[in-house]
């Protein structure tokens, strides 16, 4: 009888994981090959064990028979941890410097909250725009996510007390109403936000944005997937437009992509310069 070696076990694990990746992509369209394997595999095998599956192949069979289980899987793959004005200092910088500069340069600005989850970031941006005296004629916010349930929650504009910890009393009174145990964003904010399903790893990108925020979304992506994503963001920005990333998502080789680093985690697409004729 052949003795299993570490390499044999690793090969079996590789096959198990690769088959599961293929199965998930066929069923949901989500490409797990763009996610870092160690972190994602730990999550998936923990889920499989939770449901009594001895391996990912067995888990995939359970998923086929249970839509509820599939929903749990999708929530585990897509990270929906957020809060209004998360990393408050960055929103203060947006209000103090970035947004006024963009509004001074363009008659109307388009902002993309990529991987918006349940909308805390998008509504925080809407608050800043209102405080700067901007209305929907001068600005629009596109909020996109891969999770349809989160998009529906975003549409409702509902936030818990925990989501609101960085929202002061003045902003609460001005922009929210209390709805049972939740805070509901007023229509004045909700009219700024346009919602759309979007998969950052496979769907086409719109163009013509002055500001893109993609924060705490790509931390589990592979390095190749990240670089490809940032290149696509670069192409989606107008010259002079800004990309804001998360606090653990500093862009490696930002200059090779074409970005100028203007502040920690803020990257600008340079303005095109016309060469003077001799």
Q: Do 182 and 52 lie in a common domain?
A: no
Q: Do 127 and 259 lie in a common domain?
A: yes
CA-angle at 129, arms to 167 and 243, nearest 5°: 95
- Write the CA distances from 18 to 5, 12, 32, 199, 200, integer angstroms: 20, 10, 9, 21, 21
Q: Do 72 and 93 lie in a common domain?
A: no
Q: Do 108 and 41 lie in a common domain?
A: no
Q: Do 263 and 141 lie in a common domain?
A: yes
Q: Do 14 and 100 lie in a common domain?
A: no
- Please give the Cα distance from 127 to 108 (Å, whole number): 17
Backbone angles phi, psi at 216, to 5 degrees: 60, 35
Domain assignment of residue 58, given as a range: 6-77
Q: Do 66 and 133 lie in a common domain?
A: no
Residue 197 forms part of a structural domain: yes
Residue 104 forms part of a structural domain: yes
Residue 201 forms part of a structural domain: yes
Provide the total of helices (H) and of strands (E) in the chain, helices listed first.
12, 10
| pLDDT tens, N- to C-terminus, the chain (278 residues) | 445 444 455 688 888 888 998 888 887 777 888 787 888 888 888 888 888 989 998 998 998 888 788 877 877 776 666 899 999 999 999 999 999 999 999 999 999 999 999 999 999 999 999 999 999 899 999 999 998 889 999 999 999 999 999 999 999 999 999 977 899 999 999 999 999 999 999 999 999 999 999 998 887 788 899 999 999 999 999 999 999 998 878 898 899 999 999 999 999 999 964 343 33
Residue 276 forms part of a structural domain: no
**How many structural domains compose the chain?**
2
Residue 42 forms part of a structural domain: yes
Last residue of a domain, one of 20, 46, 77: 77
Helix intervals (H) in 66-164:
67-77, 88-93, 99-105, 120-131, 148-156
| pTM for the whole structure | 0.79
DSSP 163: G
Residue 82 forms part of a structural domain: no
């Amino acid at each position: 009888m052949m003795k299993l070696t570490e390499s044999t076990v690793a090969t079996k694990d590789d096959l198990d994981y690769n088959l599961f990746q293929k199965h998930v992509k066929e069923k949901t369209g989500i490409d797990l090959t763009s996610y870092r394997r160690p972190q994602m595999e730990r999550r998936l095998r923990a889920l499989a064990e939770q449901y009594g599956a001895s391996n990912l192949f067995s888990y995939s069979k359970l998923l086929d028979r249970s839509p509820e289980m599939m929903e749990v899987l999708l929530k585990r793959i897509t990270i929906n941890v957020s809060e209004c004005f998360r990393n408050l200092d960055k929103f203060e910088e947006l209000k103090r410097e970035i947004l006024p500069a963009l509004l001074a340069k363009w008659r109307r600005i388009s902002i993309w909250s990529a991987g918006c989850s349940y909308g805390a970031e998008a509504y925080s941006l809407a608050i800043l725009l209102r405080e700067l005296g901007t209305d929907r004629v001068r600005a629009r916010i596109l909020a996109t996510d891969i999770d349809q349930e989160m998009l529906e929650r975003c549409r409702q504009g509902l936030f818990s007390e925990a989501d609101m910890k960085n929202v002061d009393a003045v902003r609460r009174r001005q922009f929210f109403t209390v709805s049972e145990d939740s805070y509901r964003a007023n229509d004045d904010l909700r009219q700024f936000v346009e919602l759309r399903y979007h998969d950052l790893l496979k769907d086409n990108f719109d163009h013509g944005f002055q500001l893109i925020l993609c924060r705490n979304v790509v931390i589990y992506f592979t390095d190749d997937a990240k670089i490809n994503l940032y290149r696509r963001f670069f192409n989606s920005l107008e010259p002079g437009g800004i990309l804001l990333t998360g606090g653990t998502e500093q862009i490696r080789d930002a200059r090779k992509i074409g970005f100028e680093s203007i502040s920690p985690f803020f990257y600008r697409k340079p303005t095109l310069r016309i060469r003077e004729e001799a």
